[in-house]
Amino acid sequence: MSVRQSLLAILDQGPCYGYQLRAEFDRRTGSTWPLNVGQIYNTLDRLERDGLVTKGEVDEQGHVYWQITDAGSAEVAAWLASPVERPVGTRDELAIKLAVAATLPGVDVAAVIQTQRTASLAQLQQLNRAKYAGGDPDGPEELAWSLVIDSMIFAAEAEVRFIDHTEQRLARHPQHAMALSLSHEKPKRGRPAKTDATATVVGQTAPATIATAPAARA
């Protein structure tokens, strides 16, 4: 998890106590994802359990300084050298909502899309305003914060493009052609049988199918 690895990476720069770790995390992310102190200490306890950090000195104010172990430094190096792997098949709430709405008889899908577009554009505008509300654009803290904001802006822009794409695709079909009434077939218990399309995606024939897709479009 990024919080666990981020805190470990900060400790790789030197010992820190809990509140100090939270402040350092905020400095590097622009407080975009604020952490509470309880989450910090819970993470530290797990890192200690895994042999990645140890408790060190205690200062005059009673702050316990946590320090990284050799195993912890090795994990930081491995984390920085590895790509972020996003899980395949993660449910997208917006995509599911639009897909279901498009198949419901009597639902004004255009209104659903417009409501979402208004909200998504408002969020995008808010993010763009936040991007230029900082201080020195060349400062290290400002740069780190802007990188996080840029990521959120790109995600919001992609969402707006998806909404536009969905509207264009649905406009090609009469609304009655998309509506699905309840099926009278009684589904059997257990997992549904894999269709040929599903087997192609998850099986060994997937690369060949994907490779021939552009030719099919042509």
Task: Indicate the domain borders of the chain.
Answer: 2-81, 93-178
Please write down the HEC assignment for all residues of 163-214: HHHHHHHHHCCCHHHHCCCCCCCCCCCCCCCCCHHHHHHHCCCHHHHHHHHH
Distance, in Å, from the CA atom of 44 to the CA atom of 49, rounded to the nearest integer, reads 9
- Structural tokens at position 52: 């990645």
Class of the CATH domain delimited by 2-81: mainly alpha
Q: pLDDT (tens digit, 0 to 9) for every residue of the chain, 218 residues total?
A: 588 999 999 999 999 999 999 999 988 887 777 788 899 999 999 999 999 999 999 999 999 999 999 999 999 999 998 888 877 767 788 999 998 988 888 888 899 999 999 999 999 999 888 776 656 666 777 787 788 888 899 999 999 999 999 999 988 887 666 778 787 887 777 665 555 554 444 444 443 333 333 334 33
Give the global pTM: 0.62
Residue 68 pairs with which residues in a beta bridge?
53
Nearest to 26 by CA among 7, 45, 12, 13: 7
